[in-house]
Amino acid sequence: MITGSGAAVRTEEFGTLADGTPVHRWTLERDGTRVRVLTYGGIVQSVEVPDRDGTRADVALGLPDLAGYETFTGPYFGALVGRYANRIGGARFELDGRTHRVTPNEGRNQVHGGARGFDKRVWRAREAAGGVELLLVSEDGEEGFPGRLAMSAAYTLDEGGALRITYRATTDAPTVLNPTNHTYWNLAGAGRGSALGQELRIAAGRITPVDAESLPTGEFLPVEGTRFDFRTPRALGPSYDHNFVLDADGPGPVAELYDAGSGRVLTVATTEPGLQLYTADHFDGRPFGPCAGVALETQHFPDSPNRPEFPSTVLRPGEEFVSTTVYGFSVR
């Protein structure tokens, strides 16, 4: 159920793409939280929240103008990615006896929906209770995916200033779907150095280990005794780009990030079975340095269309895909 009807919502022009398509920015405010969302790529441009002294700062890595988002094609700053977040091995999968070849954009594999995924589309927008709802039709065959997909993503602010993202979709032919939001978080403030050292907890007793191409091996590796054990809070280190298998029966949020300096706390609750932890070690200082933010991507597992042992990402006609993730903000 979407709450948050008390949020202030406004919209403004944000610029035009190189092809002349206009883009708008929506600003949502409630209970100390201010979020800005672009119709280009469903991008969360900024999330401003207070520290323990009441000083508000932007904790999401974003860019100041539209040209920047067109130029940076790899980091997916704040974007809504799909149709399939994460990787599809060999840029192909079989569904109902038919092989579908999708666009490879990471070597021989596909990542985050291909060359022109959801992150590079301009979404139609309309005001929703407490926020904005973005809508998009992905035609049959786009980036190789079957089925005409009608997709929506509602960004709303709940009471207390939590950001809720609710995805919905239907299709006219069997397809696969795995959207996520790709915001990078730094609770000290965007552009204020590395996010390493901030304390992270993830309610996950296993990960899906990967090979040299960052594709899952099909195994489930217990985290106990490894650097992947975040079941109790520990300081975040570098070199993570891994899917955590969330504990289905765990109480409360599935993840929590804490910055001792500011006192800010980010909690993540989701209906999804997995969380991809990514520390962005490759950032080169243009405009952010290595590990300037950490992505906590709620999603199904990578390469699930080729892994029958993983939870299914198949969507069929007559079904509705519904997924919700809530980012809560507090201090201590």
What residues act catalytically? 182, 297
User: DSSP class of residue 245?
Assistant: E
| Cα radius of gyration rounded to whole Å, the chain | 19
Give the Cα separation of 231 and 228 in Å (integer): 9
Q: Are strands 184-185 and 294-299 parallel, antiparallel or unpaired?
A: antiparallel
Distances (CA, A) of 255 to 157, 242, 271: 19, 14, 13
Q: Please, are residues 314 and 95 in contact by the beta-carbon 8 Å criterion?
A: yes
Q: Please, are residues 284 and 243 in contact by the beta-carbon 8 Å criterion?
A: no
DSSP string, 131-164: EEEEEEEE-TTGGG--S-EEEEEEEEE-TTS-EE
Task: Of 231, 187, 196, 216, give the one whose Cα is nearest residue 302.
Answer: 216
Q: In the numeric block, which tokens belong to residue 201?
A: 């907890």
Helix (H) or strand (E) holding 71: helix 66-71
Distances (CA, A) of 26 to 36, 44, 153, 156, 273: 6, 10, 13, 11, 29
| 204 phi/psi in degrees, rounded to 5 | -150, 125
Residue type, 135: L
Which residue's entry shows tokens 């980036």? 143
